[in-house]
Amino acid sequence: MKRLCVAVLVLFFFSLGLVAQEATSDQPWEETVRRIENGKTPNTNNTYSVEILYYPYSHEAYVTYVIFDALYQEEEAVSVVSDVAQRLKAEFGYDKYGYSSQATIRFDNEKHLARYRVNIVFMYNDIN
């Protein structure tokens, strides 16, 4: 009797595994846009990179500005992130954007990098 119960449970969990594998892959949260862009700041001609993670399902993006820590200037970081937000707003057809939280600045002492990270939320105008 115990063997029969164990066999039924094993078959049950095995069938659950098969059903779970048949899920469709066109879920909106799987459409995450990941980009890494490189550029030079216009004033000082310093090389930087921008890491972008855009989630269309939640209408938000995480933008990280990365530069050597000795060359970091917050004004340039804010300018570059603002330009990226404007481009994403135009590319995906949003009307406006805002910052959902305060920007975070992290300094990596081993790699000598500064990371300025912002969470941006995109919105449509409500026209009723």
In a domain, 49, yes or no: yes
Structural domain count of the chain: 1
In a domain, 4, yes or no: no
In tens, the pLDDT along 82-102 reads 999 999 999 999 999 999 989
In a domain, 9, yes or no: no
The CA distances from residue 116 to 45, 66, 71, 77, 111, in Å, are 18, 7, 13, 7, 15
Low-confidence ranges of the chain (pLDDT < 50): 21-23, 25, 128
- What is the reported pTM? 0.72
> What does the pLDDT read at residue 22?
45
In a domain, 89, yes or no: yes
In a domain, 22, yes or no: no
Q: Which helix (H) or strand (E) holds 35?
A: strand 33-40
Q: Which helix (H) or strand (E) holds 15?
A: helix 2-21
In a domain, 20, yes or no: no
C-alpha count within 13 angstroms, C-beta hemisphere, residue 55: 10
3-state class of 122 per DSSP?
strand
In a domain, 66, yes or no: yes
From the list 47, 60, 117, the residue with the least C-alpha distance to 88 is 60
In a domain, 5, yes or no: no
> What does the pLDDT read at residue 29?
53
Domain of residue 50: give its range. 28-123
3-state class of 106 per DSSP?
strand
